[in-house]
Amino acid sequence: MSEPRYRQIRRSRADNIPATVARIFSYLSSFRWQLILVFVCIIVEALTNVASSAFFAPLIDDYILPLVGKSNPDMTKFIYRLIFMAAVYLLGITVGYVYRKLMSIISTGTLYNIRKQLFEHMQEMSVQFYDTHTHGELMNFYTSDVDIIRPLIADSFPQAINTLISLSGSMFMMLTLSPKLTLVAVALLILVVLVSVLVGKKSRSYFVKVQKTVSDINGYVEEMFLGSKEVKAFCYEDESVRKFQKYNDECMHASIMSNVFAQSLMPINVNLSYISYAAVAVLGARMCIAGEISLGSIASFLLYTRQIAGPISGLSQQFNGMMMSIAGAERVFGIIDSPTEVDEGKIVLVNVKEGEGPLVETSEKTERYAWKNPEDGSLTELKGDIRLKNVTFAYEEGKTVLNDVSLYAKPGQKIALVGSTGAGKTTITNLINRFYDVQEGCITYDGIDIKDIAKSSLRKSLGVVLQDTNLFSGTVMDNIRYGNLDATDEECIAAAKLANADSFISRLPDGYNTMLISNGTNLSQGQRQLLNIARATVADPPVLILDEATSSIDTHTEKIIEKGMDKLMQGRTVFVIAHRLSTVRNANAIIVLEHGSIIERGNHEELLAQKGRYYRLYKGTAELD
C-alpha cells in the first residue's frame, strides 16, 4: 500500500518556506484592526530610532562645538534639544510597549484559531489515520508544534518589519551624510545577508528533524506510560530504556547540529558588523581630517552603522526560533491539508410515522426510522437487514483479512461470529460501521449499499459495544448520555438499570454525578464495560454490534446482565463476537471464521452435530468450565 497522502503532503511542503510563512500570516486576517495599530506603532518606533541617531550630527556641530572654549556658555538651546530628544525616545518606548502587547494578544488568538482548525479537521479524519499515529504524536501537534509558532508571530514578524523600516530610514540618512561611507557599509551588509542565507539553508533540515524526533519521543513515552503495568510485569524496564535512548540520541544529534549552525550565525554577523564599524570609523576619520565631512556627521554615521547591524544581529539571534516555528507549522499544516474521511453517501436517516398510506417523514421522535433518498425523496423503512456479499478486504496490500465472505442478518436476528484471534471477526464489524471500505464485494443495509448511506446516518443506526472500553472525563451520567446526547436523566438511569450498572453506580460517592477521570481508572474493568453497555442501550439503535462486550466481566456478573442484554436485543438485529461460546448458544446463526473465510455456519445444535471446528471449540470450552 502506498504511503498515506498526509505524510506525502507534510514532506512536500518541507522546502517551501515562503508558502508556509504566508500560510501562517493568513490567520492574522482575524485581527485586522489590531494589526493596523501594530503597523503604525512599529513605523513610529522605527522612525524614532532613525531620528535618534540623526540628532547627534546637529547636536555636536551646532550645539556642542560652538560652546567649546566659552567661559559662560548659554546652555538653554542645548537643554531644549536634549528635552526634545528625550521626548522622542519616550515616544519610541511607549509605542514599542503598545505593539508588543498587541502582538501577544494576536499571537495567542492565532494559535487558538490554528488549534481549533486542527481539531475540527481531525474529527473528519478516517480511523486509518489514527491507526497510523501514536497518541503522543497526535498530542505533539497541539502542544509543541503549535506553540512553537508563537515566536515567529509575536517576535520575528514585527522585528522583521521594524528592521526593514529602520534599514530603509538609516540607509537614506547615511546616503545623505556620506555616499562614499554608505558604499562601504552596504558592501559588508550584503556579506552578512549572504552568510545568513547559506547558514539558514544548512540548519533548517535539522530543525525539521528536531520536531520529528520530539514527536517520536512523545509517542514512545506515552506508550510506555500507558503500558507501565505490562512493562513491570514482563521486566521490560531495561529494554524500554534502551529504546528510549535511541530516540533520545536521535533528538540530541539533530538538536546539536541545528543549534551549531543557528548559534554560529549571530557571532559571525556580530564580528562582521564590528569590521564594518571599524572600516567606517577609519575612513570617516580620514575624510574628517580632509574636511570632507563634519565630526558630528561621523558620529551620526557610526551610530547608523551600528543601527543597521543591530536589527540584523537580532534576527540572527531569533533564527533558531524562526526555523523551529516554520518546521512546526509545516507539520501542523501537513495534517490540516491531509484528506479527510471520504463520504459519498447521500441517503440519510429520518424519523417517520404512519400516514394515510405509506410512511411519512416527521420531525417528531417516533422511534421509527427510514432511509431517505434526497434525489427522489423516497423512503425505505429501517428494518435492520444487513448482508455481506462476496466481501474481500485487506488493511495492507497483499495481506488479505477477509476472503470472499458472504453472510446475512435478517431483521431481529442474532448473528454470532466466532473463531480464532485474527480470523476477521472484528474486521466485519469495522466494515459494517464503515470505519474502512471494502475493496471487493459490497455490504447492504435494508437493500441499500452502505456506501450510498451518509456515514453519520449509518453510524447513528448502529449501537456498538467494543472490546476496548473508552470513558471520558465527566460524570457517570455524561458518559452514559454519550450514546444519545438528547437523552434525559431518567432515560440514562433506565439504560443503566437495563445493563445492570445501576447497582454499582448507586454505591459510588456521588452516584450518577461521580466524576470519572483518566478513562475511568477509579472503576473496575467490569464496571467500565457495564457503563459502555449502558451507553449503547441509551442510544436505542435498531442494530447492535457487541464486540467481546462481556470479555472484561466475570462469569457471575455476565450471567446477571444476560437477561438485561436479552431485553436490549429484542426486536433488534445483533452481531455478537465472543470467545465464550456459552454466550452465543441462543444465536439464530453462528458464523465460524478461520483465516478470513467462513468455514461453518448454522445454529448451535446444527454445528455441534457437524462435529467440526465449532464442536471442537465448544467441547474445549465445556471441559475448561
pLDDT per position as a tens digit, 572-625: 888 988 777 767 888 889 999 988 999 999 988 888 888 888 888 877 754 323
Which residue, among 615, 613, 575, 616, has the nearest Cα to 595 in the 3D structure? 613
For 444-461, give one letter per residue: b (16+ CB within 10 A) or e: bbbebebbbbbbebbbeb
Q: What is the pLDDT of residue 14?
A: 42
- Angle of helix 5-12 relative to helix 319-336, nearest 10 degrees, comes to 150
End-to-end CA distance of the chain: 44
What pTM did the predictor assign?
Answer: 0.70
Residue 246 neighbours by CB under 8 Å, 6+ apart: none
Burial of 562 by CB count in 10 Å (0-12 exposed, 13-18 middle, 19+ buried)?
middle
Domains of the chain and any CATH numbers: 5-336 (1.20.1560.10), 348-380 (no CATH), 386-624 (3.40.50.300)
324-344 b/e with 16+ CB inside 10 Å = b? bbbbbbbbbbbbbebeeeeee
Question: Are the C-beta atoms of residues 145 and 332 closer than 8 Å to each other?
Answer: yes
Q: What is the spatial distance between Cα 573 and Cα 413, in angstroms, rounded to a whole number?
A: 5
Cα 403–408–411 angle (5° rounding)?
A: 155
**Taking a C-beta distance cutoff of 8 angstroms, is the pair 196, 265 a contact?**
yes
Q: Report pLDDT for 233.
A: 64
Strand 348-353 relative to strand 369-372, pairing: antiparallel
Mention every residue, 6+ apart, whose C-beta is less than 8 A from residue 534: 480, 483, 492, 495, 496, 498, 499, 501
C-alpha cell at 17: 518556506
Tens digits of residue pLDDT in 45-90: 888 877 777 766 666 766 666 666 666 766 777 777 778 888 888 9
412, 528, 389: which is closest to 467 by C-alpha?
A: 528
**Beta strands 597-602 and 515-516: pairing type?**
unpaired
**pLDDT lower than 70: segments of the chain:** 1-15, 55-59, 61-71, 73-74, 196-197, 200-205, 226-227, 229-230, 233-234, 262, 265-266, 270, 309-321, 355-357, 549-568, 582, 621-625
- Mark out the alpha helices in 227-294 (DSSP H runs): 228-233, 237-289
At residue 399, what are phi and psi to the nearest 5 degrees? -125, 80
71 to each of 75, 85, 259, 311, 538, how far by Cα in Å? 12, 26, 59, 42, 99
All residues at 6 or more sequence positions from 340 whose CB lies less than 8 Å from its CB, including other chains: 121, 124, 125, 126
Could you give the C-alpha distances from 416 to 258, 573, 574, 588, in angstroms and in order? 57, 11, 8, 8
The whole-angstrom distance between residue 370's C-alpha and the CA centroid of its chain comes to: 36
d(CA 50, CA 42): 12
